[in-house]
Amino acid sequence: MSTEDVTPSARLARLVRERREAVEMTQRDLADAAGLGLSTIQSIERGTGGAPSKATRDGLERGLRWRKGSVAQVLEGGDPIAIIDELLRLEGQLPRRVRELVQAEAEFHRLKGSGAPADAVLRAQQTADTARRHVLEVQDALAHERQLVDQADAAEIESIPDAVLLRELERRLAQRHAPAFDDVPVGGDQYDFDLAAHTDPDGYVRDGDRGVAPDEGA
């Protein structure tokens, strides 16, 4: 926490000012984007506005492109999260989670096919189930963040400097590549989990599909 954050209002003032300047907005720009008066923004940035009302909190989050609840988080000593930042973070996390799932499934099938002790096979299955749950959780979070971005009024977004962040997001997503799995150790011929058969056209693992090997389905 900064030494200048002597009160929650002072902390909010600093973070609002830093975010506004980072996206090259004037106080007037922010007031317009937030649907608030210029004097309200000035008061907030001076740290003299007191506890902001719900309407003011909602306006600040909308204008600064922070996730809902960010202002309350700041007042409690936490940090705000920008909608675009969170979406990009999740987009970067998904390939890693899918890779972990592939590795866990590979180990499970390797142990099962090699006659390993039952407790070892069970632990490997639990690890694979946990990895699958992590993939599904990231997918759900991604869907939520994308909905937040989609709900933003395009005309309003394009009228403020923060639009450059949206364009950066579009560029990053356009360059996204599917993770390469060629170097994933599969532990022998026993591994027959077909990732493509258990994903939808966008590469998302389908909920409820455990990737059962043919001999398990008999």
- The DSSP-derived string for 112-156 is HHTT--HHHHHHHHHHHHHHHHHHHHHHHHHHHHHHHHHHS-HHH
Per-residue pLDDT reduced to its tens digit, 110-148: 999 998 999 999 999 999 999 999 999 999 988 887 877
Q: How confident is the model at residue 151 (pLDDT cuts 50, 70, 90)?
A: low
Q: What is the mean pLDDT of residues 64-90?
A: 86
Q: What is the mean pLDDT of residues 82-101?
A: 84
The fourth-level CATH superfamily of domain 8-75 is lambda repressor-like DNA-binding domains (1.10.260.40)
Q: What is the mean pLDDT of residues 17-35?
A: 88
Closest CA to 97 of 144, 139, 68, 54: 139
8 A C-beta contact, residue 64 and residue 46? no
Q: In this model, does residue 201 exceed pLDDT 80?
A: no
